């Protein structure tokens, strides 16, 4: 009986130490890990359009309607219910394996910051809404 109490006490102490050592990252750290802009970020569609043309248009077209090198982002496949904003952030950070189209894999775009991606998403979503994609 004493041995059982000793084992249980050891388990409880070990669990407490383990839990105490598992600090949760703060929300800002989580945002950074996920390649998201800060909580106070406000997207600007005009900046997004400029950034899109500079960083994305070669493959996705000037108006996000696609080219022979990359798919159209103004397309129902990329509606917010199917490809949430987080998918765009991950694509910029990590690249994307080909899955909906036959253009090949998209490489990561490391020169584009999370804030810049946020502006680009705002532009793409605006163009999608203009095309009736919701």
Radius of gyration of the chain measured on its C-alpha atoms: 22
pLDDT at residue number 93: 95
Q: What is the mean pLDDT of the chain?
A: 87
Looking at residue 33, its pLDDT comes to: 78
Whether the CB-CB separation of 78 and 128 falls below 8 Å is answered with yes
Quick check: 34 and 89 in contact, CB under 8 A? yes
- Is 90 exceeded by the pLDDT of residue 77? yes
Give me the residue spans of the domains in the chain: 27-130
**pLDDT band at residue 26 under the 50/70/90 scheme:** confident
Q: What is the pLDDT averaged over residues 70-92?
A: 96
Residue 21 banded pLDDT, cuts 50, 70, 90: low
Q: Name 71's bridge partners.
A: none
- pLDDT for 16: 53
What is the predicted pLDDT for the residue at 19? Answer: 54
Residue 131: C-alpha distances to residues 65, 77, 78, 86 (Å): 11, 13, 12, 21
Per CATH, the number for 27-130 is 1.10.760.10
């Amino acid at each position: 009986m004493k041995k059982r109490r000793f084992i249980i006490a050891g388990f409880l102490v070990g669990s407490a130490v383990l839990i105490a050592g598992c600090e949760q990252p703060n929300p800002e750290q989580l945002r950074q890990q996920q390649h998201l802009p800060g909580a106070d970020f406000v997207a600007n569609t005009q900046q997004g359009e400029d950034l899109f043309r500079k960083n994305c248009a070669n493959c996705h077209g000037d108006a996000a309607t696609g080219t022979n090198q990359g798919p159209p982002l103004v397309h129902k496949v990329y509606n917010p219910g199917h490809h949430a904003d987080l998918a765009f952030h991950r694509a910029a950070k990590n690249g994307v394996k080909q899955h909906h189209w036959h253009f090949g894999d998209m490489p990561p775009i490391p020169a584009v910051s999370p804030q810049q991606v946020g502006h680009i998403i705002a532009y793409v979503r605006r163009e999608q809404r203009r095309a009736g994609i919701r």
